[in-house]
A = this chain, B = another copy of it.
Amino acid sequence: MRFTEQKMISILRHRGYRLTPQRRAVLRVIASSHDHLTPAAIYERARQKYPDIGLVTVYRALEVLGKLGLICEMHTGGDCRSYLMRRPSGHHHHLICSGCGEVIDFADCDLSSLEQRLTQKTGFKIEGHLLEFFGRCRNCQRVDSA
């Protein structure tokens, strides 16, 4: 389940943000892509709908969408350029292929018992977590062993 473009627009406006053609273009790109996209990639695609859009504006749109909880970031372990991405509407995590970059979303993380233990031991009030798995997809495993 994911937010539709319409749903995103209504959330945006409901929160007092203006609906500009630039934001519309960014929204459309995000809503219609099945991949996790970098800001630069979103920029490239948005330009097809709206050639005069600036990269700055894409960054600003992503910032707003982030605040609204409509996108989230992906953290690769490596050199960690934080990748912005489209987002299924709920909490989820990633399984990332270190070979080809393929990303699989998954949502069923159960860390609650671990969280409890940590809270007990440290007194921290835990508010969130970041969890990403790295590995090789089927294809890359095949190539590896060839």
| Interface of A toward B, CB cutoff 8 Å | 73, 75, 77, 79-82, 95, 97-98, 104, 106, 108-110, 114-115, 117-118, 121-138, 141
Contact = CB atoms under 8 A, between A and B. Distances in A.
A134 B125 contact: no
Contacts of A77: 73, 75, 128, 130
Given A80-B73, A80-B75, A130-B134, A114 B110 contact: yes
A125 to B, nearest CB: 5
Contacts of A104: 122, 124
A135 B130 contact: no
Given A77-B130, A95-B122, A124-B135, 6 more contacts: A75-B77, A108-B117, A124-B136, A126-B135, A130-B130, A130-B131
A82 B118 CA distance: 24
A117 to B, nearest CB: 8
A81 B75 CA distance: 11
Which of the listed residues A79, A104, A129 has the most CB atoms from chain B within 10 Å of its own CB? A129
Nearest to A129: B133
Contact of A129 (B97, B122, B126, B132): B132
A140 to B, nearest CB: 9
